[in-house]
Homo-oligomer: A and B are copies of this chain.
Amino acid sequence: MADDLAMGATAHPLEYIFHPRSVAVVGATSASYGDQFVGSLREIGFPGPIYPVNPKANEIMGLRCYPSVREIPGPVDHVISSVSATRLREIIEDCGAKGVKVLHLFTSGFGESGEADRQELEQWVVRRARELGMRVIGPNCMGLYVPASGLTFTYGFPGEPGRVALISQSGANAGEFVHVTSLFGLRFSKVISYGNASDLNESDFLDYCADDKETEIIAAYVEGVKDGRRFFRALKKAASRKPVIILKGGRTEAGGRAAQSHTASLAGSARVFDTLCRQAGALQVSSLEELEDVTIAFRFAAPLPGPAVGVVMEGGGRSVLSADDLTLRGLTVPALPDEAQAELQRFTFLAGTSVRNPVDTSVTWIGGDKAADLLAETIRVVASAPNIDFVLSYEGLQWGPPAPGEGPDAQVKRMEEILNVVVEKSASLSKPIVFALRPTFSPSAVQATLRFQQTCYRHGIAVFPDIGRAAVALSKLFHWQESHRKQATSR
């Protein structure tokens, strides 16, 4: 299928970049701990040949190592280069001679060093590569993670492909995004770390992802924009087809200085960038965590039928704060209708609990197997209320350190059993349910939390790391939906 796409008449001109038949890793390290590119490509199962290139080694991680790209026997589509900037001239000629299509320069020390000769070198690299028929990704970046093609750049990324594309000027931010969000169920079509963007840049990749049928949601981390008009066109095209969630780095003088040191980016005016995003219909966020949360919301909680949240949770003080948080972020927490309150009162303790909304459940204090059923039933009743659009359940795998003699994991085990039943029963509700997590304090609770997240995403349910972050992400999702609905209507 990848080949069909790559060669189809309607394929995007950059499609081939994501489907190399072979990869050479130039400057692969022969250290005992192995080369990260070679190792992670093997871990994820790249289906074609992987060629380590290093004149000082015969073998790297069990693969035959070549002294140069020219001496590799078969065709080489994609080259990852880790050798120092100053040694690139020869390598580029080798790649050209070999018919390489894409040169990914992991190497840094170019324009971002602030030194004139390095800036010139960067320009020369791109010019020469283009003359030789190659496109350049980078320099100063991690390159591509495309699970469907078996491409990756670090260990532990999921092998399973998905619907989210991430375009990131920072490799570490890309890595953190994938590591963190994959634990909440995100899977990826394309993740592109593009660094200094000397050749292929943010606009190329946005335009590609706009067309890419495997991409349903685009998340982006951008420090600088090479060509404002082109970027606006690509962003508008992408945002008219799918959600584009974008984080701008370098909004302040200090951040801009850091961006220049990082990817030689001219950060530009934050206000101009904001206007541009608003006009293009892209959704801006203000931190990497928010980029993660909002993308999770789009993947697992969209479409949100409306802003009215039914909140199910335990603890009166947290109920008050949750109602405040959700309201102040732009959602609503309406009082449940009398009938729903009456129904809830049949099985909720009177004392110290509320059935108005938030519904303060206190069911986990009930012994035996009843707690899970009662909590699931509470959620069902709340979801059935006509003035509620979706349910937010605030739960955790731990309430505090264990009682003496209880054993460190008894509480966690019990909560996990309760929540498994609740997720199972809630997945088939007619309205969406999302979960927000309470804090944990022990390794066993963390382990159980990771399992709980997995159970949720396998049921298509969004989970957020805390209630404030849930409030922000869900509100952003809802208000984005509203503005796009209005735009669609006004057309």
Contacts and interface: CB of A to CB of B under 8 A. Distances in A.
Interface of A: 33-34, 36, 39-40, 43, 84-85, 107-109, 112-113, 140, 154-156, 168-173, 175-176, 179-180, 183, 221, 223, 247, 249-255, 257-259, 261-263, 287-289, 314-328, 332-335, 350-352, 354, 356-358, 360, 399-406, 438-439, 441-444, 446-447, 450, 466, 468
A327 B314 CA distance: 37
B402 A156 contact: yes
Contacts of A140: 352
30 contacts: A34-B403, A39-B404, A84-B351, A85-B351, A156-B400, A156-B401, A170-B315, A170-B318, A171-B317, A172-B314, A173-B315, A173-B321, A175-B399, A175-B400, A176-B438, A180-B441, A223-B317, A254-B323, A254-B327, A254-B357, A257-B335, A258-B358, A261-B360, A262-B319, A262-B320, A262-B354, A288-B317, A288-B318, A441-B450, A443-B447
A295 to B, nearest CB: 15
A450 B180 CA distance: 19
A326 B257 CA distance: 14
A403 B155 contact: yes
A438 B316 CA distance: 31
Report the 7 A-B pairs with minimum CB-CB distance, sorted nearest first. A170-B317, A156-B401, A262-B316, A261-B354, A108-B352, A173-B317, A255-B324
A258 to B, nearest CB: 4
Contact of A251 (B316, B328, B335): B328
Contacts of A324: 249-252, 254-255
Given A253-B327, A443-B444, 11 more contacts: A33-B406, A34-B403, A140-B352, A155-B404, A156-B402, A173-B317, A223-B317, A249-B317, A249-B321, A288-B317, A289-B468
Contacts of A170: 315-318, 320
